[in-house]
Structure 1
Amino acid sequence: MSKVVLITGGSSGIGKSIGEYLGTKNYTVFGTSRNPEKIENHPFPLVALDVTKPETISACITEVLDKKGRIDVLVNNAGAGITGPIEEIPGEEIKRNFEINFFGPINVIKGILPQMRKQQSGLIINITSIAGYMGLPYRGVYSASKGALELITEAFRMEIKDFGIEMTNVAPGDFATNIAAGRYHAPVLEGSPYEKVYGETLKTMDAHVDEGGDPMDVAKMIVKIIETDKPKIHYKVGAFMQKFSVVLKRILPDKVYEKLLRKHYGL
């Protein structure tokens, strides 16, 4: 029987690539979008869901269960980028980013666990980021929200293991998607002490995304995880140096690693 996969944030970018690839592998795929009615000719069905609104989560899960009777895999992909000097990012934007990137996935997990427990099986894959392994300058809020999701997954998976449910993280590096266009950018303020360096760093970050890898690489990793019996806790997908940066952080003295990051961002 074809496994049923629910992908949050499945209308574009990495989520869309995951859904398209799973469809070629005979999985039954449902994606989510805040406004699915506005999206035409999508390669797989989209269900309305806003991770910041628990009532839409319940309605989405119910709709998929009514159609297919089960949900075997949840890919927690919905997320939002945010950039800026932490001092200058409005507090409400920091909170909103955590609502989407951290509390949102937790809400979806809470919504789906009763069904997976009933099935005595299930797999939850949280899409985080390599940025979640380190505090990146002018991406600190994003790093923090994704890092928090990485850590809570470590705890969550131990709590649900006895129910026959697996949970893991997939941390992508930079991929060529529309995330740069959709994320919150704190404005480059004229006269700000961060004006010059933040402006230059912003250009660098956007270039990294534009020159990023094929999001289909993430999709292939998702299939590999679904088809393994015992998923690892953490997976990383991206360019060699992006993945290696996580290893370097683990082995280098803190200040040496910080110096490397500052040099990389031209600080």
Structure 2
Amino acid sequence: MGKTIFITGASSGIGKAIGEFLHQKGYTVYGTSRNPEKVSGSVFPLVALDVRNAASIRAAVAEVISKTGTIDVLVNNAGVGITGPLEEIPAEEIKNNFETNLFGPIEVMKAVLPHMRRQKSGLIINVTSIAGYMGLPYRSVYSASKGALELISEALRMEVKSFGITITTVAPGDFATNIAAGRYHAPVIKGSPYETVYGNTLNEMNTHVDAGSDPRQMAEAVYAIMKTPNPNVHYKVGAFMQKFSIVLKRALPDKVYEKLLMNHYKL
């Protein structure tokens, strides 16, 4: 096939599943990890990259291009979860989430775009989240960072279309990955006005992730996008009701949709 695929955050979870699937399909796959030396058993090479560090990003992109001569597809997958009442999430944790989920992917795209422009072709798939289509209680920062990446992608898609480069997003719902273990949880503070309802919501969110879909579905979706001559602006992958929630948000009056969410979260 001859195409080189570059996947950020590919040492576990969705990124790893995408890399393994595309490797099996015969693509040249390079993934990234903040500490690749600590990862064992990867079927595709991992290069060091921290999306919060611009120099690290440029070095990783240069390394892959020096080894393969090209990056044909970028899968911007690296991200981190965060939960908590907005009032109780430390400012530094909010900033870290945006550095990882928004500013990092932007810098990766900036590093790859000049190369894609020179070769007059390229596909960038930004992994967002169904949570990015709506403001979810106790997931406000995560929803905001992923929603911002959706809008950035929409705008950039138009800016680079004339260069032969395509930008698209794929928004997963709940998948069985280690994101719950890796996300930042604002602590449930005893005596806090949010103590009971946030504690219950946190347990429910973790249960949904643990019982989530197989990450291979995301890998199959990315492969299908790659094989599509003219990809759509956005894709959603997940359980029916998770995807349908986006349709409901568009169709229902704001207060009605808000009431549905509050009932779901028992608020």
**TM-score normalised over the length of structure 2:** 0.99
Alpha-carbon distance in 1 for matches of 2:75, 2:67: 18
Pairs within 5 Å for 1:234-253: 234-253=234-253
1:47 paired with 2:38, answer no
RMSD: 0.5
Secondary structure of the residue aligned to 1:37 is: helix
| Number of the residue aligned with 1:185 | 185
| Number of the residue aligned with 1:18 | 18
| Number of the residue aligned with 1:37 | 37
| Number of the residue aligned with 2:146 | 146
| Number of the residue aligned with 2:58 | 58
Q: CA deviation at 1:66?
A: 1.0
Counterpart of 2:236, as a letter, is K
Alpha-carbon distance in 2 for matches of 1:85, 1:204: 15
Alpha-carbon distance in 2 for matches of 1:233, 1:61: 25
Superposed CA offset, 1:141-193 (max 9, x none): 00000000001100000000010000000000000000000000000000000
Q: CA deviation at 1:43?
A: 1.5
4+ long deviations beyond 2 Å: none
1:162 paired with 2:162, answer yes
Alpha-carbon distance in 2 for matches of 1:41, 1:169: 29
| Number of the residue aligned with 1:137 | 137
Q: What is the aligned length?
A: 267
Alpha-carbon distance in 1 for matches of 2:89, 2:65: 40
Secondary structure of the residue aligned to 2:31 is: strand
Superposed CA offset, 1:20-60 (max 9, x none): 00011111100000000111111211000001101111111
Alpha-carbon distance in 2 for matches of 1:240, 1:2: 35
Unmatched 5+ stretches in structure 2 = none
**Stretch moving more, 7-16 or 36-45:** 36-45
| Number of the residue aligned with 1:233 | 233
| Number of the residue aligned with 1:173 | 173
| Number of the residue aligned with 1:125 | 125
Alpha-carbon distance in 2 for matches of 1:266, 1:24: 44
Unmatched 5+ stretches in structure 1 = none
Alpha-carbon distance in 1 for matches of 2:113, 2:136: 33
Counterpart of 1:104, as a letter, is G
Instruction: Give me the identity figure in percent.
Output: 70
Alpha-carbon distance in 2 for matches of 1:177, 1:195: 26
| Number of the residue aligned with 2:69 | 69
1:2 paired with 2:25, answer no
Alpha-carbon distance in 2 for matches of 1:230, 1:133: 23
Secondary structure of the residue aligned to 2:109 is: helix
Secondary structure of the residue aligned to 1:116 is: helix
**TM-score normalised over the length of structure 1:** 0.99
Counterpart of 1:105, as a letter, is P
Alpha-carbon distance in 2 for matches of 1:85, 1:246: 23
Counterpart of 2:28, as a letter, is T
Alpha-carbon distance in 1 for matches of 2:92, 2:67: 38
Counterpart of 2:32, as a letter, is T
Pairs within 5 Å for 1:195-234: 195-234=195-234
Counterpart of 2:53, as a letter, is K
| Number of the residue aligned with 2:106 | 106
Alpha-carbon distance in 2 for matches of 1:260, 1:176: 25
Superposed CA offset, 1:58-114 (max 9, x none): 111111111100000000000000000000000111011000000000000000001
Alpha-carbon distance in 2 for matches of 1:71, 1:44: 15
Counterpart of 2:237, as a letter, is V
Alpha-carbon distance in 2 for matches of 1:34, 1:55: 13
